[in-house]
Structure 1
Amino acid sequence: MNTTRLRDRLLLQEDLNFLLTNRVPRIALTHLMGWYSQLRSPLLTRFSIAVWRLFTELDLSESRQQRFDSLHDCFTRELKEGARPSDPRPEIIASPSDAIVGACGQLDGCRALQAKGMDYELHELLGSRELPERFAGGSYVTLRLTSSMYHRFHAPHDIEIDRVTYISGDTWNVNPIALKRVERLFCRNERAVIEARLQSDGTPLLLVPVAAILVASMRFTFIDLLLNLRYRGPNVIPCQASLAKGQQMGWFEHGSTIIVIAPPGMELAEGIASGSRLRAGQALLRRARQGQAS
């Protein structure tokens, strides 16, 4: 197959993927998936997992349980004790989740990259004009969770959480194909802004879980709150929560994205680059070495 035909074939595959996962009634399908995943039937669940495995690399070997009464139980499964140890070094910000790294690097002022040639302003993502200024010129990492991954996320350091801001939105797919085609996609989707600070010195840190098609449901255990498309509570949710590094923060009910944003003085940890695969607890960011801080 010559280069032109191969390119055309790949473009056609991307077009079909985009149409099938985005040019559909996204919110209605997300509600339907939420209902289906909650059906408690071990037989139906085994069948659904078998079909799921035909299309993904679902690995349940680390799961604490091996039999599930619903797809929801499988999506939100716990792992065996010690399966995701956190990097103990105090200078390290650990990955909050299993993920594939997307766009990452240093912020251009208050602007981050979504995909090559497409970027977005932090104030659009965060729903605030003031908050981005604290992170201007800092670092960010986009973490994409696929549907087959472990869906729980954990504290990246010993942190205090002061506020959660829920921002309702759409449910576009967040795969690389959609990110290349939909401008400011993260700023359009349902998301939450978790404002935290390191217990050691008060350094601010943001975690922004972003929902997507078939997901749109995030459980935060530190405030015992389920956020989804039907949520009608307050937009800003004050909280006072202390979490130790590696402690569970919550989970997605399918797979999605977490954007981690740190202020100047932090840099990407060794080996972090677009396309890298991570496990929760691995080094994600680190304090910039002396003389390298912005």
Structure 2
Amino acid sequence: MAASVLLRTSACWANRIVFRSSWGHSCRRFSSGWRKIQAASLTTATRLRPVHVLVGTGGGYVGYWQYGKYKNRELERQGIEVPPHVANELEVALYKSIPTRLLSRAWGRLNQVELPMWLRKPVYSLYIWTFGVNMKEAAVEDLQHYRNLSEFFRRKLKPQARPVCNSHCVISPSDGKILHFGRVKNCEVEQVKGVTYSLETFLGPQTWTVISKGEDDSGSFQDLLVTKDGNQLFHCIIYLAPGDYHCFHSPTDWRVAHRRHFPGSLMSVNPGVARWIKELFCHNERVVLSGEWVHGFFSLTAVGATNVGSIRIYCDRDLRTNSPRYCKGSYNDFSYISSTNKEGVCMRKGEHLGEFNLGSTIVLVFEAPKDFTFNLKAGQKIRFGEALGTM
């Protein structure tokens, strides 16, 4: 009897020992597996640095954006008009947070670096191939003549390459693509179809001297610019691509009386961004030249863009653009009229006026009789010297 009890007790203890051993082994295996999972998670989190997250999310967004553009192109091919998608305030703020001014200054310094003779032809040939530059129009076709990228961008043309149309009153001041044109309505200007900006915000307060049609200045900003009864305001926007001729010229015979420089952002001004960001040209740095022509008010505005912080006006040595520091919303005025110069700067049609370091945008806003008509189509390519419109 005692032996039987002892045997059962021993078996029970043996079972307990086996169970505890098995349970302990299972716990150790679970603990080891859990530690491996934690270690793998920690390793993955360590490897996922901010740059990886940014690249991943950025790549996904670009892919989504490109898919949207593909869908829009398919709809346009079917003849269906696609309304522009305008960025919200957060999207604009995120875009403006990119240090485009710093990048543009760095690009400007890079452009000034003199290239060795053996490197000039390969570098310029790549640029010519990428952007479709026609070097047969250049005054100097030899690529080794241009010491740096800046000289290549600002190359002059052969005199016969751009004949100036004398039979029309307003010509294109530059090579480029017509983004939009027409009459100014309700103090709003369309940068592309369906996306507008405020004329007053773009040009700034009307403080320069113009011919007054009356003492009453209680009208709208648009009315203040129209100096003659029966006239209206017209506008035309020309986008200069990187491969275009980078200089701009006087679009008509006129007298430049005033310069206003708006420091600002340097966002891209290509047509896709112009469809996306409302008042794009009001955000960007720009130089407004205003004065008079035979029919009243006339203005030409050179708008800066990414990598185009440098805007040069040949008759204005004091102008400095893309400064490291500026006050948001500020502008600098300068009058070309003085006690010794009552006329300002008189420009002839086709005369050299200024230049960009890379492609950008020219905006014309001018007064003309109601029968003025544009000889243009939105989206068409145009060259300096060709007619914009006539009466």
Give TM-score scaled by structure 2 length: 0.64
Residues 102 and 275 in structure 1, CA contact (< 8 A), matched pair in contact too:
yes
The equivalences for 1:154-173 within 5 A come to 154-173=249-268
Amino acid at match of 1:73: E
Q: Which moved more, 1:24-33 or 1:277-286?
A: 24-33
Superposed CA offset, 1:31-57 (max 9, x none): 111011111114444333233234211
Displacement of 1:253: 0.8
The equivalences for 1:272-291 within 5 A come to 272-287=376-391
Number of the residue aligned with 1:245: 349
Q: Is 2:148 aligned against 1:82? A: no
Unaligned 5+ segments in structure 1 are 1-5, 288-294
- Which of 104, 118, 126 lines up with 1:30 in the alignment? 104
- 1:113 to 1:52, Cα distance in 2 relative to 1, 3 A: same
SS of alignment partner, residue 61 of structure 1: helix
Number of the residue aligned with 2:147: 69
Identity between Structure 1 and Structure 2 (%): 25
Q: Which has the higher contact order (CA 8 A, sep 6+)?
A: 1
Amino acid at match of 2:122: F
SS of alignment partner, residue 228 of structure 1: coil
Amino acid at match of 1:244: R
Higher strand share: 1
Amino acid at match of 1:112: V
Number of the residue aligned with 2:313: 220
Superposed CA offset, 1:196-228 (max 9, x none): 222xx3622110110000111111112235532
Displacement of 1:143: 0.4
Q: Is 2:180 aligned against 1:120? A: no
Residues paired across the two proteins, number: 274
Q: Distance in 2 between matches of 1:243 and 1:231?
A: 32
Q: Is 2:238 aligned against 1:143? A: yes
Q: Distance in 1 between matches of 2:69 and 2:357?
A: 33
Displacement of 1:25: 2.8
Q: Considering only CA atoms, is the larger Rg found in Structure 1 or Structure 2?
A: 2
- 1:8 to 1:221, Cα distance in 2 relative to 1, 3 A: closer
Q: Distance in 2 between matches of 1:227 and 1:268?
A: 36
CA RMSD, Structure 1 to Structure 2 (Å):
2.9
Unaligned 5+ segments in structure 2 are 1-65, 74-84, 86-90, 208-220, 337-343
Displacement of 1:8: 4.3
- Which of 235, 240, 243 lines up with 2:332 in the alignment? 235
Superposed CA offset, 1:122-143 (max 9, x none): 0110112566431594211100
Higher helix share: 2
Number of the residue aligned with 1:292: none
